[in-house]
Amino acid sequence: MKQTSRLKRVFIAFSIGFTLVLIGVVSLQLYRSYKETLTAAQANAANLVKSMAQHAYDTYEDMDLASFGIVERLEWDGFGSGLTSENKARLKTLFKRQVAQMHQVHGFFVYDKDGNWIVTDKDDYPANINNADRIYFIYHKTFSDRAIYIGTPIRSRSTGDMVVPVSRRINNPDKSFAGVFLITVNIEYFNQYYADFLLGPNDSIVQALRSGEVISRLPYRESNITLNLSKGDIYSKHLLKASSGVVRITSVVDGVDRIQGYRALERYPLVVQVGLSRKDVLAPWLTEVVFYVTGLAIMLGVLFALGLLILRYIRLDQEHQVELKAAYDAVEKLAMEDGLTGLANRRHFDVVLPVELNRARRQGYCVGLIMLDVDYFKKFNDSYGHHMGDLCLKAVAQVVKQNVRRAGDLAARYGGEELVILLPNTDDLGTHKIATAILEGIRALGIEHRDSAHGRVTASIGYHVVVPASFDCDPSQELGLADVNLYTAKELGRDRVHPEMPLL
């Protein structure tokens, strides 16, 4: 048997070791592949956002240069008196030519100090339109800043298209406010440019103002134009530390977990973001995981099948020994348990009591001992029969079980109708409470006993608490003190606990 068990242990140890090594090698390979996939995605995001940022920078730089030249011309010619009908016609022709050459431009517009349209490249536009209520107009009227102002997307009053306003202030010779020159940029221009990139279904490209207002977002929905990303991690955390980088964030727009490349433009208050969905990025890696795991499962399956075949022969020898052990355990249980009540028997209790008293002496805690005797039980048996007597004892034992539930507690049938209970680490008050609860539980059974003065089944209970100072006493003597209290309870009229109050 020893040789068989040793062979089994060696085989199992080898199988476990081989399995762990195999799993470790595959796991290491998959982890390295995982890190490489994420590193490549981060580099891809950084390169893409750099390209997008450069495109946005070039686009707005063209608007910057074009608006600078137009405003300088308007101020040189004299914005008020210089804008004759002939000059307006020349400007209109110039605007048309530049709009035709600049595909990103939606239109050129000139407004006077009151917001009235003076010149535009449009042939047809609504009459008597005034743009003095536009945010960009109010900004230039309020501030003397000569740089371009990039505003949040608006709907054009001339065509109804969604556009980005890029405007510049026009001054009178005395530096006072004379009007605004506006270039509107087609949002669709950015959307089409971004759509040419081969991105995954959950990837995103965002162009937004530094304050968080979205200018363009792919995938595009017009409702995105109303979004403000200022509370997202890019704007509230990362841009405060660096003007560009690659981070992992969960989008505040759609909740998608992405590897996010971001870059703030140097001269313009804009931020470009490229977000690569981690789910899409890791999809090829997950396919690799399935491939490796499937192969690993097949190899381990073969190993498992061989193991079962070998262990089957080993198990045949052990089954006989297991049967012998089961039989031995059953005999041991019968020897230590009372068959009627399910409680421990007297032999079990006598073995445990001295061991528990020695442990209590070493650790310095009290031990409660309770002895219980069913009142007039012989008369109950004579009157109702032994079968009913057995049922009565089972019911009393069940009450005891319900009140003695700690792991270290032990309840035993000590003989006939007498039960004994061992309560480690329990003082007088605790022992008295448990004894009283058992007494009341037996009363609550309401089992009829016509030969008892109480008319029902009752019990007499005596208890004794072994304190640390008395641990040198013999266990049988300590149990005898509980037995003395039990007989005192009987002499006092039964159906009671003695002592009646714990010794404090």
Residues annotated as part of the active site: 417
What SS3 class is residue 450? coil
Q: What is the helix (H) or strand (E) element at residue 259, kind and residue range?
A: strand 257-264
CB 479 within 8 Å of CB 369? yes
Output Rg (C-alpha) for the chain, integer angstroms: 46
C-alpha count within 13 angstroms, C-beta hemisphere, residue 97 = 7
Q: What is the DSSP letter of 340?
A: T
C-alpha distances (whole Å) from 12 to each of 6, 16, 26, 284 are 10, 6, 21, 36
Query: Quick one: how far is CA 492 from the chain centroid?
Result: 64
**What is the distance between the alpha carbons of residues 444 and 457, in angstroms, rounded to a whole number?**
10
Q: What is the helix (H) or strand (E) element at residue 223, kind and residue range?
A: none
CB 273 within 8 Å of CB 208? yes
Q: Which residues contact 110 (CB under 8 A, 6 or more apart)?
A: 70, 74, 91, 117, 118, 119, 120, 170, 179, 180, 181, 182
Q: Where are the alpha helices (H) located in 248-340, listed in sequence order?
A: 278-281, 283-336
CB 102 within 8 Å of CB 163? no
Q: State the angle between helix axes of 2-77 and 283-336 in degrees (0 to 180), rounded to the nearest 10.
A: 140
- The strand pair at 459-466 and 496-498 is best described as parallel
Closest CA to 497 of 430, 427, 439: 439
